[in-house]
Amino acid sequence: MAEIIQLAENTWRFEEEGVRFFLLAGTEKALMIDSGMMTRNARELAEQVTDLPLELLLTHADRDHTACNGQFPWFYMHPAEASNLYNTQGLQGVFRPVEEGDVLDLGDRPLEIWSIPGHTPGSIAILDRKNRVLISGDTVQDGTIFLFGVQREMHAFLLSLEKLEGRRDRFDAIWPSHGSIPVRPDLIPALREAAAAVQRGEVRGEEASFHGIPLKRFDMGCASFLRDR
């Protein structure tokens, strides 16, 4: 079961081993952001801390973020993530599309959607405008960032980091799905510089594997990147 940790008024994080998800409440409804990996009762846990109507939004559709999707009749997701959800991950569910610039208002708590492809095609970040917090999914973190396989792409990842770097004046803290929490906005340019060095072939990776898949691990200090070349 996930550990529930209150971050602020009407804001919680759910900690599993190696991954976390979030619950944000406004005056009218609450939003769960991702639904865990090993947790099987995410909705029940959320209903222990809020009695507001509850919806679900996915930062992306990898399996460590989607364990409790079936507890919701539908969920928000970027449409570019559909192939990852239904084909690569082989999951099911009904999604409602969110795209760049959309705003989900929980009631005096607007959440702005930013498209940040790279880790997956439909990865998004969520800006909690009033609290100046960016929920970054897997894209901005100080742990291990997966950039291997057909659904992941370093060129797009770099462009997304450039986008986020250009918006640094809009948030003061970042809450990732993995690694440390919070992280500072200055992690973004560090990740961009590190990823660019890897992309240019300036860094020699170490042999690694994931579920039997041969990979290269690039440990860059600010984070590690897993790639298939």
Domain assignment present for residue 62? The answer is yes
Domain assignment present for residue 153? The answer is yes
Q: What one-letter code names the amino acid at 200? A: R
Residue 1, pLDDT score: 76
158-195 pLDDT tens trace: 999 999 999 999 999 999 999 999 999 999 999 999 99
Residue 74 CA to residue 211 CA, distance in Å, equals 30
C-alpha separations of 44 from 11, 31, 48, 71, 78 in Å: 16, 13, 6, 9, 25
Residue 167, pLDDT score: 98
Find the domain containing 28 and state its range.
3-197
Number of domains observed in the structure of the chain: 1
C-alpha separations of 118 from 23, 54, 71, 153, 160 in Å: 25, 29, 28, 5, 7
For residue 97, cis peptide bond before it (omega within 30 degrees of 0): no
Domain assignment present for residue 27? The answer is yes
Domain assignment present for residue 217? The answer is no
123-155 pLDDT tens trace: 999 999 999 999 999 999 999 999 999 899 999
Domain assignment present for residue 91? The answer is yes
Domain assignment present for residue 202? The answer is no
Domain assignment present for residue 185? The answer is yes
Q: What percent of the chain has pLDDT over 70?
A: 100
Domain assignment present for residue 104? The answer is yes
Reported as a pLDDT band with limits 50, 70 and 90, residue 118 is: very high
Residue 229, pLDDT score: 82
1-40 pLDDT tens trace: 799 999 999 999 999 999 999 999 999 999 999 999 999 9
Residue 219, pLDDT score: 98
Q: CATH number for the domain including 123?
A: 3.60.15.10
